[in-house]
Amino acid sequence: MSKQSPFTVVIPARFGSTRFPGKVLVDIHGKPMIQHVVERALESGAESVIVATDNPDVANAVAGLCQVVMTSPDHESGTERIAEVVVKAELPEDTIIVNVQGDEPFVPAKNIKQVAQLLSDSEGHMATLCAPLDNREEAVNPNAVKVVANQKRHALYFSRATIPFERQALLDDISDPSKADLTLLRRHIGIYAYSVKYIKQYVAYTPSPIEKIESLEQLRSLWYGDTIVVDDAVAPPPSGIDTPDDLTRLLEQLRLK
């Protein structure tokens, strides 16, 4: 295994979530969500951790834990927010940046290290992770983003639709999920690694039609022919928190453990 490459974690932490406003500050076991994310990033061995936010309350929540860069409230994606950070922080163009979402309080530190190394060991423009998708309900859930990759581990497409689509099993109204072969289905995990140089290239692109249709920023890279390397996460990823109900469900799961 190659030596771990140095990397910087940048955590975009927008306050105004559409489905769950202020979620990065909700209390989880006595700490705001964003603090949990920062702690996982620090555990990963990152050279530095930066929270990128447009809200002073978020900045105050992590004061003393890591660096904070105040950013514009007008960015349309986390990568665009990170692009402002790398310019303000004057980071060298070969710096590996890992984009860890501000609403992933239990992201495994191992996965943060993994995605940085995946980029370093490849010739891809970006790297990201996925996980087996093993139930039919999630397979048809548009909030669960799916990814299909080729044998070189290069992403072919990301979608909120079920891809690859097993026509007969998923089209039929079956009551037994075991009748559907889900072995090729992968749920995308929203963690990215890319160089500062590529981040600047990405934001210089005109937003693509497919990213607007799917509301998935990574599709901009594929639209312009860039390579996204993808691999199964080494540690089981937690469920995403998109709504208050998601948080309630997650806290209940933790209580039962």
Provide the pLDDT confidence category of residue 215 given band limits of 50, 70 and 90.
very high
Per-residue DSSP letter, 92 = -
N- to C-terminal Cα distance for the chain? 34
Q: What is the pLDDT of residue 250?
A: 77
Inside any domain, residue 253: no
Residue carrying structure tokens 């072995």: 183
Distance CA 79, CA 36 (A): 21
Number of domains in the chain: 1
Per-residue DSSP letter, 12 = E
Inside any domain, residue 255: no
Distance CA 231, CA 73 (A): 32
> How open is the CA angle 73-75-76, to the nearest 5 degrees?
130
What backbone phi and psi angles, to 5 degrees, belong to 78?
A: -65, -35
Higher pLDDT, 28 or 51: 51
State yes or no: pLDDT of 185 exceeds 80: yes
Inside any domain, residue 2: no
Higher pLDDT, 1 or 179: 179
Provide the pLDDT confidence category of residue 254 given band limits of 50, 70 and 90.
low
Distance CA 194, CA 197 (A): 8
Does the predicted TM-score (pTM) go above 0.85? yes
Distance CA 19, CA 217 (A): 18
State yes or no: pLDDT of 234 exceeds 80: yes
Q: What is the pLDDT of residue 182?
A: 75
- Of 144-148, 149-153, 156-160, 236-240, least confident by mean pLDDT is 236-240
Q: What CATH number does the domain containing 181 carry?
A: 3.90.550.10
Structure tokens at 110: 């191992």
Which among 130, 99, 116 has a CA at the least distance from the CA of 236? Answer: 130
Inside any domain, residue 160: yes
DSSP string across 137-186 = HHHT-TTS-EEEE-TTSBEEEEESS-SS--HHHHHS--S-GGGS--TT-E
Inside any domain, residue 3: no
Q: What is the pLDDT of residue 202?
A: 97
Where residue 255 falls (left for φ over 0; alpha for ψ -120 to 50; beta otherwise) is alpha
pLDDT tens digits along 104-155: 999 999 999 999 999 999 999 999 999 998 877 888 889 889 999 999 999 9
Q: What is the pLDDT of residue 177?
A: 52
Beta bridge partners of 50: 10, 67
Peptide bond just before 73 cis, omega within 30 deg: no
Domain extent at residue 204: 8-248
Structure tokens at 247: 């948080």
Inside any domain, residue 217: yes
Q: Pairing state of beta strands 31-32 and 27-28?
A: antiparallel
Inside any domain, residue 90: yes
Structure tokens at 115: 């995605």
